[in-house]
Structure 1
Amino acid sequence: MSKVVIKGELPSLNEYIKAERANRYAAAKLKKRYTALCSVYARASHNSGVEFNWPCKLKFTWYTKNNRKDADNIAFAKKFVLDGFMKAGLLGNDNRKHITGFQDEFAVDKRNPRVEIDEITEDEDA
């Protein structure tokens, strides 16, 4: 199974909104920074032989330091991940022709926060 692991916690929707309101360019800078970070991890995985069979569903497992952030705010970071996948050449486009659905799971790992992105194969849906 193909899996990309991005170390650390990505910004939540609330953090992104706060940046938008603080400065005209702050949210764009934040998006650019975290898209580039996700791209680095995606490219490293791709170079190690990770391939996804498009179209497919993606499973995101979000490991955070604690339970303080709401799940919907955490999952907002998919935007950074998918744009990073495109930038790294792992994904041609993040439209619905390539991505047919998402599954999100949430867990706490205070020592190793991260997001793991797996391809959900047909067998796993049955």
Structure 2
Amino acid sequence: MEYSLLIKGRLDGLNDYTAASRTNPYKGNKMKADNEQIVIYAIRQQLRRLHIENPVVLKFAWYEPNRKRDHDNVSSFGRKVIQDALVKCKVLQDDGWRYVVGFTDDFYCDRENPRIEVLIVEQE
């Protein structure tokens, strides 16, 4: 089975999170929690009561409004936040090796509609 998740807008980047954490650990924690809430809202709207028990592969498509942030800055913190939110909402049991067996990233530019598309591919 495959499940789609659309997150409108964009999440903070790894550089932003690192700078916030260095300034004050509470600021970094708040930034992560704020980004998680954006993802949790999307999960609750689109995936509702989905619970996946099999391992999954996550396919991320990152649509940025411009090319100012490098790929790693866009995806590193975002992947962490999205996987943690999927676990918090109990879509995934855990985000360790046993449950997330891989992921891919593709990057695009869309000035009018920045977003993150996540395809959750359940493995048999």
**% of aligned pairs identical?**
31
In the TM superposition, what is the alpha-carbon distance from 1:46 to its structure 2 partner?
A: 1.4
- Residue 108 (structure 2) pairs with residue 107 (structure 1): yes
Contact 1:51-1:90 at 8 Å conserved across structures: yes
Q: One-letter code of the match for 1:55? A: P
Give the TM-score taking structure 1 as reference length: 0.87
Contact 1:60-1:116 at 8 Å conserved across structures: yes
Give the TM-score taking structure 2 as reference length: 0.88
Contact 1:67-1:108 at 8 Å conserved across structures: yes
Cα separation, 2, equivalents of 1:4 and 1:52: 14
Structure 1: 4+ residue segments shifted above 4 A: 49-53
Cα separation, 1, equivalents of 2:51 and 2:46: 8
Q: One-letter code of the match for 1:34? A: N
Contact 2:57-2:100 at 8 Å conserved across structures: yes
In the TM superposition, what is the alpha-carbon distance from 1:25 to its structure 2 partner?
A: 1.0
3-state SS, counterpart of residue 74 of structure 2 = helix
Q: One-letter code of the match for 1:89? A: K
- 1:10-65 per-residue CA deviation (whole Å, 9 max, x = no partner) reads 01110101111222311000011111211111121112x76656302110000011
Cα separation, 2, equivalents of 1:11 and 1:95: 23
- Residue 23 (structure 2) pairs with residue 22 (structure 1): yes
Contact 2:67-2:109 at 8 Å conserved across structures: yes
Residue segments in structure 1 that go unaligned for 5+ positions in a row? none
3-state SS, counterpart of residue 2 of structure 1 = strand
| Match of residue 71 from structure 2 | 71
3-state SS, counterpart of residue 25 of structure 2 = coil
Contact 1:16-1:30 at 8 Å conserved across structures: yes
RMSD between aligned residues: 1.8
Cα separation, 2, equivalents of 1:36 and 1:114: 15
